[in-house]
Amino acid sequence: MHITQLNRECLLHLFSFLDKNSRKSLAKTCHKLLEVFQDPLLWSLLNFHSPAELKKDNFLLGPALKYLSICWYSERVKVCNIEDWMKNNFQKDFCNRHENTVNDFLLEVCNRCPNLLSLTLSGCGHVTDDCILLLLKNCPNLKTLRLENCVRITDQTLEAVTRYGGSLQMLHVDFCRNVTQTGLERVREKCPSVMLRAERSANMIPDSKPEKKSMLEKASRKLVQL
């Protein structure tokens, strides 16, 4: 039996074992397999491991998407986690491209994937509070939100969780250096049913501009002298 003689359910099952590139390559062989590739039911789960993957045409975003994971930890991407005021021009240009890519992709998720249940964003240094706010508003069924090492996330995201995270059951903000203990306590107070994890977040040194740091250093020196 030729593969194209299988019914749609069998083909969807076979496609589900393939990675995104393999699915795309197989879809190019005939119209029937292309139709399987374009079936929204095939795309209930998506995993990405680099910013470049977000710009490829080897996947589909749609209402069937339930589980989305975007994680990267390469040496080059670590630049994105440096405070903006410490970056040189080359690093800023590099990070701006990543920021535009991530923001555009997440905006598409907001518009096309209202049934999202789980979102993992780990090591994504350009994810902003505004992006998470839109996601919480547009994906009301979201149950799991993992934001490990998303350095631009602040208490504004935690506040958005208390307002729009009605379905949320799990929130991870580990190693988010701009999250405060006050923000975490507010989530615990307003959303007691949410399983909150924030390893080291409120104990890390937050981003601050040089002038702010110099003022803190002067104040600390005065205290030492006293």
Structural domains of the chain, ranges and CATH numbers in brackets: 1-42 (1.20.1280), 44-208 (3.80.10)
Q: Is 139 exposed, middle or buried (0-12, 13-18, 19+ CB in 10 A)?
A: buried
Place of tokens 């096309």: 112
- Residue 36 in contact with residue 27, Cβ under 8 Å? yes
What DSSP designation does 1 have? -
The pLDDT tens digits of the residues spanning 49-67 come to 888 899 999 999 999 999 9
Q: How confident is the model at residue 223 (pLDDT cuts 50, 70, 90)?
A: very low
Q: Decide the pairing of beta strands 170-172 and 45-48.
A: unpaired
The pLDDT tens digits of the residues spanning 37-51 come to 999 999 999 999 888
The length of the chain, given as a count of residues: 226
Q: What is the share, in percent, of the chain residues with pLDDT greater than 70?
A: 81
The pLDDT tens digits of the residues spanning 129-152 come to 999 999 999 999 999 999 998 888
